Amino acid sequence: MAGMLDDVKVLDFTTNAAGPVASAEMSDYGAQVIKIESMNGGPERTYVPILEGKSLTHAWVNRGKKSITLNLKDPRAIEIVKALAKDADVLIESNRPGVMKRLGLDYETLKEINPSLIYCSLTAFGQTGPYSQKPGFDMMGQALSGMMSITGEKGGQPLKHGIALADYFGGFNVFASVLTALHYQRRTGKGQYIDVSLLQGMIHLNSTIDRLNDGVLCKPNGNHHSGLCPFGCFNTDKGESVIICAPSAKAWEAVAKAMNRPDYLTDPEYNTIGARTKNMVKVIAEIEAWLSSFPSLKEACVRMDECHMAYCLVNNDQQVVDDPQVKHMGYIVQAPTPDDIKQPTYQTRGCNAFFSDVPGEIHKAATLGQHNHEVLGGLGYSDEEIDQMMKEFKEEMKK
């Protein structure tokens, strides 16, 4: 079945995680993504987890793409890119600001070749400004955005997120931005330049910045919401944990019913969200004591289900895979491995959404340079010319 983006051609000059995630999302829905790699490949080809000596991170972030290898310091490579850009819809790059201009592949240059080109640059901090030339990574985006300052135990030190949140949200930010520009391009025929940064994405996510309007500088509050109660992670004396959320009157009624505490609905220390937040320490202690009164969390869950409480368990990765809801929905899939791995599939995450008519699909990632002959042959190069050029590119890289 043809994908919803099968009429979209993307040139991908990204490495690591954030940029590759964006173009991989497009490939899930049918876009033709040509990844331009160095002769040695991007660093993501070395990242864990490793299967048969090959990176499954690469298999994930570069899924569904065609790989060609070029030495962009060679004028022939620049001409190849310009030829590919003539009929491309999108170009995504994640180099430090100024690199593409020095190569002669900046937006202003390529716009002259293809006025409808959508050109998206992804950086850590933005194209200009005092940080623009600094090396930047996911954790720096988390830190500068304020996200780390509100994450951690109450009174404790700043804490990073458990995953590369800035990278992955940065990739989805590019994905959304490019699709928005594509919609405009399809209506008007006009391309445009898009500037996306990890820092901007993290600031966009950081809703606590808005609290400055009412004079509140948010700080870490552990596993509990600073302005809602109960709304957090509760622990039993047996080392078990559960999430309980009761931000509304109806949700709090369910908690009171489950705990056999009708007084919670009239007692001024408990009957409003403001009162419960003010008395958060006491509320948390009483709920945790109630949970600990059961032989195990399993029995407590039965009671919470009976009373329609909003709760869930805290899954580890294996429990995610085994979770009945996750299994039912098919959120975890078996995806095909690249051709240089003997094992045919690996377990990974499925597409980001389900579509009723034209579903997405997690495709196979390419081996390094796997599509040199296919892509360059389409530009008129013979097999002999391609082989010779690749040989010379490799030799140039050694100098």
161 is catalytic: no
Distance between CA atoms of residues 200 and 202, nearest Å: 6
Proportion of the chain in helix, strand, coil states, percent, rounded to 5: 45, 15, 40
Distance of CA 277 to the CA centre of its chain: 32
Q: Report residue 332 as tokens.
A: 């975890």
Contact present, 63 and 362 (Cβ < 8 Å): yes
Q: Which of 58, 225, 363, 371 is catalytic?
A: 225
Which helix (DSSP H) or strand (DSSP E) does residue 34 occupy? Answer: strand 32-37
How many residues appear in the chain?
399
Distance between CA atoms of residues 282 and 287, nearest Å: 9
Distance between CA atoms of residues 288 and 222, nearest Å: 15
Distance between CA atoms of residues 15 and 18, nearest Å: 8
Range list of H helices, 43-98: 56-61, 75-85
Residues β-bridged to residue 241:
235
Which helix (DSSP H) or strand (DSSP E) does residue 285 occupy? Answer: helix 280-292
Residue type at 2 in one-letter notation: A
Helices 165-188 + 18-28 axis angle, to 10: 50
Q: Count of CB atoms within 10 A of residue 345's CB?
A: 12
Instruction: Give the SS3 label for residue 242.
Output: strand
Distance between CA atoms of residues 198 and 139, nearest Å: 10
Pick from 203, 210, 111, 192: which is nearest to 165 by CA? 203
Pick from 46, 103, 114, 113: which is nearest to 75 by CA? 103
Catalytic residue numbers read 225
